[in-house]
Structure 1
Amino acid sequence: MTILDARESGLANGGPSFSLGNRLLRAVWIPVWRLGAGWTPRQLHPWRRFLLRAFGARMAPGSDVRASAKVWYPANLEMHEGAIIGPGVNVYSMGKITVGRKALVSQGVHLCAGTHDFDTPLFQLEAKPITIGAHAWIAAEAFLGPGARIGEGAVVGARAVAFGELEPWTVYSGNPARAIRQRRRFADDASNS
């Protein structure tokens, strides 16, 4: 989905951007995460995974969202086996965010799956999914914008800014992120993302 549809957004008639159900879920989710998980040590990742699943996230075995990460709307988060979202990551999941098998999202990263259509008078919200492939590494404080598609095994360097499609097994750096070299493939690179 590229633009939140009129049924969900309400913007066509000047109403709220999200349904009442969406807003209520987030109103309950935020204190539940802060009080129920925000203080937990790394070893309690099964408990955090349970809480995320209870609010609609699709969490595979061995996936982990660290306690200090912020997940805006859990129902739009999908994490595959062994995927990790590190400390202080902002998962702004207005649109779906998928983190592939054994992918690592390092500390302070911002995953932003929403923006505004600034060419319209109502400044409508747009939700665009973010996909991070298996074995990819999003390094510290990088920014992935709406619609980013990070290929399997790709590396997005520290503080890099990425939009659009990044090729598999390639290392990217800078703002905007540019390919700087190929990355060696792992023996098990045929994994599902």
Structure 2
Amino acid sequence: MNLPLQASEKKDPFKGAASFSLSHRLTRILWYFTWALLASWTPAPLHRWRVFLLKLFGAKIHTTAHVYSSVKIWYPANLIMDEHACLAPYVNCYNMNIIHIGEKAIVSQYATLCGGTHDIRDPKFQLITKPIIIEKGAWVAANAFIGPGVTMAEYSVVGACGVVFKNTVPNGIYVGNPAQFVKMREFKND
């Protein structure tokens, strides 16, 4: 005899349970096709058009933000971009939670911003999402990975291919896997 599933069993991904509601998943499918048909092929200068499409799907994004056509954005409603913030070509913005990119912050080509992970202690491997904050003037260099819950402080830098799972300090420069602090960022006086 089959017994009804317990509430906790209904969220078992190994039994096909979804982590997000049906309406959320349908919105993401609609977003995927909208971006593919109306944005993914557009030339680089059409940032305002891509910003417009992101806003239609709930992104809180300044009109001066730069989002390139090859960027992958998982869920626009979880994206916040301030003035002159940039998602460079081929960035993977896996924003299962809020990702906030501050004023003049740059996320360079092929970088990954990953707002989700799984609880490895839970036999059901439940999804955990945490926000990522890239503060004003910070730079995520090419191919870097920023993990869930990380705040990159103002003007901090993570070097190419760096992997960050802990918050950075303002003006700190980090390199490696896992990324380690190497020195403070110094600005030239003009």
User: Same fold by TM (over 0.5)?
Assistant: yes
2:164 maps to 1:158: no
2:92 maps to 1:90: yes
> What TM-score, normalized to structure 2?
0.90
Matched position secondary structure for 2:48: helix
Q: Tell me which of 173, 176, 179 is aligned to 1:177.
A: 179
Q: Tell me which of 125, 128, 141 is aligned to 1:126.
A: 128
Partner residue, 1:73: 75
Number of equivalent positions: 179
Mapped to 1, the partners of 2:188 and 2:157 lie a distance apart of 13
Partner residue, 1:61: 63
Partner residue, 2:53: 51
> What TM-score, normalized to structure 1?
0.89
Structure with higher Rg: it is: 2
CA RMSD of aligned residues (A): 1.8
Mapped to 1, the partners of 2:188 and 2:138 lie a distance apart of 11
Q: Tell me which of 115, 118, 122 is aligned to 1:116.
A: 118
Q: Name structure 1 gaps, 5 residues minimum.
A: 1-6, 188-193
Partner residue, 2:11: 11
Q: CA deviation at 1:31?
A: 1.0
Identity %: 47
Moved over 4 A (4+): none
Whichever residue aligns with residue 120 of structure 1, its letter is D
Q: CA deviation at 1:21?
A: 1.2
Mapped to 1, the partners of 2:48 and 2:176 lie a distance apart of 35
2:14 maps to 1:34: no
Partner residue, 1:190: none
Q: CA deviation at 1:65?
A: 1.1
Q: Name structure 2 gaps, 5 residues minimum.
A: 1-6
Q: CA deviation at 1:63?
A: 0.5
Q: Compare relative contact order (CA 8 Å, sep 6+) and give the higher one, 1 or 2.
A: 1
